[in-house]
Amino acid sequence: MQLLEAIPKKEYILVVDDTPPNLQLLLTMLTRKGYEAYGVSDGIKALSHVQSDPPDLVLLDINMPNMNGFQVCQQLKSSNLTCDIPVIFISARDEVLDKVQAFAVGGVDYITKPFQIAEVLARVENQLTLRRLQRQLQEQNERLKQEINNRIIAEILLQEANEKLGRLVNLDGLTQLANRRCFDEYLEQEWQRLAREQQPLSLIMCDIDFFKNYNDTYGHVAGDDCLRKVSHLIKESVRRPADLAARYGGEEFVLVLPNTDIEGSMLVADVIRKRLEELALPHEDSSVSKSVTLSMGVTSLVPKTDSLPSVLLTSADYALYRAKELGRNQTYQIG
């Protein structure tokens, strides 16, 4: 079954003239040329008709009762709904001032009476061609705006997707802290920066005491919940944007504290310990407390360009080992 092609809509012209022979002649020649034409005999009717059925072009006489052509054109151009409709004046008035006023109120052309049919048709077609081109340009601009908006939306969605992917790549799924990969990259970055600036870098390594016993007693689901709560507490204990809290592995956590000396890092460790005591997560199978506790190793130094961040990591790991060796549920510092 073949689809019928859409029949092009005839361009519609409103003719405004209070002289019946002129009005009829203009309507006849426009209709024969293939346009849709409608005539009215005064300005008030013209304005009313334009509001209800906007034409593609207005042929407008000047000398009319009640409201002359200049006034009609002014009102058309003052409305956002009709200001783009081209108006061609057709008048017996041939004075220069009349023509100047016609263009001043918004007319696009001026034809004097008695008119020649060929001239009127040529000028009408010229203005309608300009009108068609104007509409095509407007449509192209609208399509371009839509394409730009679509591209902007696509870029925003892509950025959001990349940010989400970045979070997934850098975050530990269970605790929502930075993961080991993110920690390693950040430690290296801050080591290089602070080596150039010769400023201190501190590390706190934490381990939940007797966490295997916790899992054995309460189950792995409760163990995961415990990890989440401790992780949240650790994250909330560091407020500076440059500080990073990460899950180092299993029940171990690590905090990177740039531009922080040993005294400052010990204060952070004390805050974590105090908040964990206040949280009072039950741990019946702990040898050091009836609630969940942490052993922490704290170390601080000024990085050197000829050394590696593993120096700091090894020192923090040893400090943590000493905290456990000395009885757990305590902080041991090096630096």
Average pLDDT score over residue span 99-105: 94
Question: Does the annotation mark 197 as catalytic?
Answer: no
Out of 125, 163, 236, 251, the active site residue is: 251
SS (H, E, C) 233-299: HHHHHCCCCCCEEEEEECCEEEEEEECCCHHHHHHHHHHHHHHHHHHCCECCCCCCCCECCEEEEEE
Q: How many distinct helices (H) and strands (E) make up the chain?
A: 10, 10
The model's confidence at residue 1, banded by pLDDT at 50, 70 and 90, is: very low
CATH fold for the domain made of 12-139: Rossmann fold (3.40.50)
* Encoded amino acid at 236, one letter: E
Angle formed at CA 78 by CA 128 and CA 74, multiple of 5 degrees: 75
Instruction: Provide the β-strand partners of residue 37.
Output: 13
Q: Give residue 24's pLDDT.
A: 94
The model's confidence at residue 3, banded by pLDDT at 50, 70 and 90, is: very low
CA-CA distance, 115 to 44, in Å (whole number)? 24
Q: What are 151-164's pLDDT values in tens digits?
A: 888 888 888 877 77
| Cα–Cα nearest to 19, from 70, 48, 61, 53 | 61
Q: Give residue 243's pLDDT.
A: 95
The pair phi, psi for residue 97, each rounded to 5°, is -65, -35
CA-CA distance, 298 to 317, in Å (whole number)? 9
The CATH 3.40.50.2300 domain(s) of the chain lie at 12-139
- Tell me if the domain spanning 180-334 has CATH number 3.30.70.660: no
Residue 288 clears pLDDT 70, i.e. is over it: yes
The proportion of the chain whose per-residue pLDDT surpasses 90, expressed as a percent, equals 80
**Block residue for tokens 């690590």:** 254
- What are the residues whose beta carbons fall under 8 Å from the beta carbon of 203, sequence distance 6 or more? 187, 254, 255, 256, 257, 265, 298, 299, 300, 312, 313, 315, 316
Q: What are 16-46's pLDDT values in tens digits?
A: 999 999 999 999 999 999 999 999 999 999 9
pTM flag (> 0.75): no
- What are the residues whose beta carbons fall under 8 Å from the beta carbon of 125, sequence distance 6 or more? none
SS (H, E, C) 194-225: HHHHCCCEEEEEEEECCHHHHHHHHCHHHHHH
Instruction: Provide the β-strand partners of residue 38.
Output: 14
The CATH 3.30.70.270 domain(s) of the chain lie at 180-334
Angle between helices 220-237 and 211-218 (to 10 degrees): 130
| Cα–Cα nearest to 199, from 334, 319, 304, 307 | 304
